[in-house]
Amino acid sequence: MKTALYGRIVFGASAVLFGIIALMWHDADTWQNLQHIWSLPFGAIIGACLMAAQIAGGIGMLYLPTARLAAVVLCIVYLCFSLACVPDIIAAANIYDKYGGSFFIFFSLLCGAIALYAATEADATRALLLGRLARVALGVCAISFTLGQALLMRETAHLVPKWIPPSQMFLAILTTAAFGLAAVAILINRQARLAMRLMTLMLALFGVLVWVPRVIAHPEAHFNWSECALTFLVTGAAAMVAELKSF
């Protein structure tokens, strides 16, 4: 398989974690925008099946014989998750979702699943096309990440630990600019692999420095667990795309 082991481990383990906490805690803080699935006929059952499928896919992708099937399962799951965010875009409930913030979080996971499938594809031409699709789509997601932070700059700065110099606002602006530069590099395919690797590192630092401490400090807050799992899921997805041999 032509993807780095660390990317598959982070992506797979985070998929399992997110699936488990969603099955444990059936609340909006955990499911966030995915709560729209509950409004469908048999929505609770559909949601539970999708989360169970995500857990199975996360485990399956860690083993070479089942990685291809796991990629198909995760593609379906994350496509459904992305579509579940569309109502918030239409309703424009807040400025973040108005520009598709939550949609592109889950769409980036779909990019990772596509990259996993591309890595298992024996046909070089199809693997190249899938790799390019994953790269371009991840670049679009990076634009959304840039807009999300820019539109909510104060909230972003508030998340930065105060002990990290030079200041919370400086680092919020710096990371926003980094997302923007990464988006450009990925979309025009100039130093795209380096840009995706650096974006992966930045996302991993978000998880380690922002969300892990919050989970430890307030384990009773389900939102912290959800955000932590999603941050590492996006980290793993970016790593999966970055390590494709061709795109």
Query: What pLDDT is attached to residue 90?
Result: 79
C-beta separation of 231 from 10 below 8 A: no
Task: Please state the domain extents for the chain.
Answer: 5-242
Total-model pTM: 0.94
Average pLDDT over the chain, rounded to whole? 94
| Separation CA 198–CA 204 (nearest Å) | 10
**pLDDT at res. 93:** 64
CB 136 within 8 A of CB 188: no
Structure tokens at 78: 């994350």
Whether pLDDT at 89 is above 90: no
Q: Is residue 99 over pLDDT 80?
A: no
3-state DSSP percent of the chain in helix, strand and coil, to 5: 85, 0, 15
Q: Quick: pLDDT tens for 113-155.
A: 999 999 999 999 999 999 999 999 999 999 999 999 999 899 9
pLDDT in tens, 8-65: 999 999 999 999 999 999 999 999 999 999 999 999 999 999 999 999 999 999 999 9
Number of separate helices (H) and strands (E) present in the chain: 13, 0
Inter-residue contact 244 to 134 (CB < 8 Å): yes
Q: Express as a percent the part of the chain with pLDDT over 70.
A: 95
Q: Are 112 and 238 in contact (CB under 8 A)?
A: yes
> How many angstroms separate the CA atoms of 120 and 1, rounded?
6
The string over 202-236, giving b where at least 16 C-beta atoms fall within 10 Å of a residue's C-beta and e elsewhere, is: bbbebbeebbeebbeeeeeebebbbbbbbbbbbbb
pLDDT at res. 95? 67
